[in-house]
Structure 1
Amino acid sequence: MNTLTYKKAGVDISEGDRFVSLISPMAKKTFRREVITDIGSFSALFKVDAKKYKKPVLVSGTDGVGTKLKIAFMTDRHDTVGIDLVAMCVNDILTSGAEPLFFLDYFATGRLKPEKAAEVVKGITVGCRQAGCSLIGGETAEMPGFYSEGEYDLAGFAVGVVDRDKIISGSKIKKGDAIIGLASNGLHSNGYSLVRKVFFGIKKTGVNQHVPELGSSLGEELLRPTRIYVKAFNALKDKVRIKGMAHITGGGITGNLPRIFPKGISAVIKKDSWPVPPIFHLIKKMGNVPDDEMRMTFNMGIGYIIVIPETETGKAISILKKAGYASFVIGTIEKGGRGTTYA
């Protein structure tokens, strides 16, 4: 009888070691001074600067990229979904006013291909640098027979910190406050099951096909990375009274904005107050998707929302523009009512 090894069963530990050697230099470039362990340890250590915070509160978030990964597989491009992974996590913890500190990832595949996996991690490090946090560790799982050939899954976990007295909860939002919408970079990381059904199921569009309305191939548009809004918040936080923030993901503005409201208030969104990117018009037209369904599924061009006093809108939009973020006054807070309505 021939001898059996772990490698013959489908798990190559030496390839895992080679993968770590490929990604370690990239990860180290994200390290803040508070990181006190190297990549490859059993655990990652991060020293919190206690002098910087009077009452530090840790804020955590975890997320994935969903079926946007299918587009990466179809195009064989893997250097952007890591940015999405970081963005989905750090934008969530940012809504509490937290400074992102560190990030960990989980990469699972049927057979590890170190160079391809390193492209994913390259994107993660780009996202971490944009967010100002450190990639301090992660897990690589090689699971033969569990995933289709050439496919993988991703999950991420972010931790940040905020002073207890500076937590942004939405509790002070009141009638008359302004709703500022920050432009998205397209679809971001939500709604891709519907997107794939429209383009590849119904219309049979090739992923590399040039689409005139988009000015690019379909794949290039669908892989646009999720925008990270940390620098936008940092530009505003000491200059404008921020009452609440919402990350616009699955559920759109309709489903996400009310999550930060205290009882007894609602939002009125002005439908034509920002430019809706062409990809959304195309999905609606090609899939015959109703307006309400579009708004409940996609960000429609607004990736992040900040609620501030109406008197500070001009200052906020000017600051955001200087920081490189297009923003718009997209609505107001009203007393009574429920959730979000469009006018």
Structure 2
Amino acid sequence: MKNSHSASYAAAGVDVTAGYEAVQRIKPMVESTYIPGVMGTLGGFGGMFAPDMAGMKKPVLVSGTDGVGTKLRLAMLLNKHDTIGIDCVAMCVNDIICGGASPLFFLDYIACGRNDPARIAEIVAGIAEGCRQSECALVGGETAEHPGVMPDEDYDLAGFSVGIVDEENIIDGKRLSTGDVLIGLGSTGVHSNGFSLVRKVLDVEHTDLTSPMEELGGRSLGETLLAPTRIYVKAVKALLKAGVDIHAISHITGGGFYENVPRMMTDGLTARIDLKTFPKLPIFDLIQRKGNIPERDMYNTFNMGLGMILAIPAVQAERALSTLTDAGENAYQVGSVVSGSDGVELVK
């Protein structure tokens, strides 16, 4: 590519040589995520992956795609771009693992007003870290300059991941029954949802984001809001390896409890969640107080401290909690599956 350059294209706002520089910066990061099955290396027209399907009777591919939303604005305000990629990976792989599928590979798409190779490398560093945390490979991606469409310093980030599961091991809620126990996995904060409301309520454009705040445990507002989304892939895989029979999983994202928990329920069953069984993180108290937000709206927008909820047989609750603790998770027994048509019931 050393002979590839276009003064005319650069004059229009697209610097192809900056793109080549970015690729060279990120290549070691990308290769650090490679797992068995990756074919080729960065630079081809398509990422190739040969999955190991030995022992599977009927392999099923499970895919997920998502972005980071307006949380990106916090990264821009703080000029900190090395964790936002973890969020992008998390939003995809946490969805995939809900079906019992192990993520195989990930691809990203970065749109920017101007290609700054150093900043692109920061973003991809986070993506690579997210892939390592979820034990999947970063096999490709795309960076596109949009001069005249986006301001020079702006960018957007989206991703796509594919996982695999044997059909007989798909987690789909079909075996849910009354009496199943609900296990909640602690979140790291707001994760990557509801930031349009967060930015409005906390007026982040005109607020001190860097000074420590006592009500946030000595952390700054910016650090708290930018904390990357927790990736739960290893935790769920640890449960499955320990023989825990997971009946259903819900990733608590946009729409909070009221939208996401019913998605794992089947007709005639409701998840009854006791709000006293897990800690509500201080950031949510701050958001609710500053915005005078009704409690129901909070639970209909944010994860409130639980990023994932699993339903398992009651007799396996102790084993599940022990396994999750050993895996480094903050896990709580938060309720049970009962008869009902609401899908979710929150009790105090």
> Shared topology, TM-score over 0.5?
yes
2:127 corresponds to:
124
* Amino acid across the alignment from 2:270: S
Q: CA RMSD in A?
A: 1.3
1:285 corresponds to:
289
Q: For residue 52 of structure 1, report the CA deviation from its aligned partner.
A: 4.1
Q: How many Å separate the matches in 1 of 2:259 and 2:129?
A: 29
1:44 corresponds to:
47
Aligned pairs for 1:1-343 within 5 A: 5-200=8-203, 204-214=206-216, 215-238=218-241, 239-343=243-347
* Amino acid across the alignment from 2:47: A
Q: For residue 18 of structure 1, report the CA deviation from its aligned partner.
A: 0.5
Q: For residue 287 of structure 1, report the CA deviation from its aligned partner.
A: 1.0
- Ranges in structure 1 where 5+ consecutive residues have no aligned partner: none
Q: Is the 8 A contact 2:66 2:158 kept in 1?
A: yes
Identity of aligned residues (%): 50
Q: Is the 8 A contact 1:254 1:340 kept in 2?
A: yes
Q: Tell me the secondary structure at the aligned position of residue 50 of structure 1.
A: coil
Q: Tell me the secondary structure at the aligned position of residue 31 of structure 1.
A: coil
- CA-to-aligned-CA distance 1:86-142 (integer Å, 9 cap, x gap): 000000000000010000000000110000011000000000000000000011111
Q: How many Å separate the matches in 2 of 1:326 and 1:217?
A: 22
- Ranges in structure 2 where 5+ consecutive residues have no aligned partner: 1-5
* Amino acid across the alignment from 1:106: Y
Q: How many residues in Structure 1 have an aligned counterpart in Structure 2?
A: 340
Q: Is the 8 A contact 2:99 2:170 kept in 1?
A: yes
- CA-to-aligned-CA distance 1:214-254 (integer Å, 9 cap, x gap): 11111100100000001101110032110001110011122
Q: How many Å separate the matches in 2 of 1:246 and 1:45?
A: 30
* Amino acid across the alignment from 1:88: M
Q: Is the 8 A contact 2:267 2:341 kept in 1?
A: no
Q: Is the 8 A contact 2:209 2:220 kept in 1?
A: yes
Q: Tell me the secondary structure at the aligned position of residue 237 of structure 1.
A: helix
Q: Tell me the secondary structure at the aligned position of residue 150 of structure 2.
A: coil
Q: What TM-score, normalized to structure 2?
A: 0.95
Q: For residue 148 of structure 1, report the CA deviation from its aligned partner.
A: 1.9
2:3 corresponds to:
none
Q: How many Å separate the matches in 2 of 1:4 and 1:42?
A: 24
* Amino acid across the alignment from 1:187: V
* Amino acid across the alignment from 2:122: E
Q: How many Å separate the matches in 2 of 1:297 and 1:310?
A: 29
Q: Tell me the secondary structure at the aligned position of residue 9 of structure 2.
A: coil
* Amino acid across the alignment from 1:257: V
Q: How many Å separate the matches in 2 of 1:198 and 1:13?
A: 40
Q: Tell me the secondary structure at the aligned position of residue 39 of structure 2.
A: coil
Q: What TM-score, normalized to structure 1?
A: 0.97
Q: How many Å separate the matches in 2 of 1:143 and 1:52?
A: 46
Q: Is the 8 A contact 1:200 1:206 kept in 2?
A: no
Q: How many Å separate the matches in 1 of 2:271 and 2:169?
A: 24
Q: How many Å separate the matches in 1 of 2:31 and 2:7?
A: 37
Q: For residue 56 of structure 1, report the CA deviation from its aligned partner.
A: 0.7
Moved more, 218-227 or 43-52: 43-52
